[in-house]
Amino acid sequence: METQHLPVSGTLQMKITDGKEIEDTTTHFTGDFYHREKMDVLTFQEENDDDLSIKNLITIHNDKVSIKRTGDITMHQQFRVNQITEDVFKHPHVNIHMETYTNKLKYQAPINNDSGKLSISFTVKLDGQEEREHQLNLLIKEDS
């Protein structure tokens, strides 16, 4: 099993719909992409508006995706279509219980200089509140 490594750049867009309110955030990144026989892994460092430093590790399998964030914010969110997964989102000021239900997951790996794309449609309940709709779109392209 040979691992392929690519330096990559891309964007991570998150759209959250809560009733009539829509929150839309986009993160641009450079990182590393690894391809193995049965999974792909993307790693990148994120600096957000609050000067928090967060490492992101996204593991993509045929039937599931895992997003692990470590640093000033920690969480390990799992996505499996038609399943509920649970996690605790840990922020320096608060811990929040998350319940995630994945509706749709679609992935195309970045191969042969073509961009890769991951799309996940899911709902999240935070600490038992009303669920909110989320749309995650991740675009990955090989750096030359």
3-state class of 134 per DSSP?
A: strand
DSSP string, 40-100: EEEEEEEE-TT--EEEEEEEE-SSEEEEEEEESSBEEEEEEBT-EEEEEEEETTEEEEEEE
Percent of the chain with pLDDT over 70: 97
Mean pLDDT, rounded, for 61-72: 94
Dihedral of CA atoms 92, 27, 130, 57 in degrees, nearest 10, equals -70
Question: What is residue 49's predicted lDDT score, i.e. its pLDDT?
Answer: 67
The domains located in the chain, with CATH, are 4-19+28-142 (2.40.128.20)
Q: How many CB atoms lie within 10 A of CB 88?
A: 11
- pLDDT score, position 72: 86
pTM confidence score: 0.91
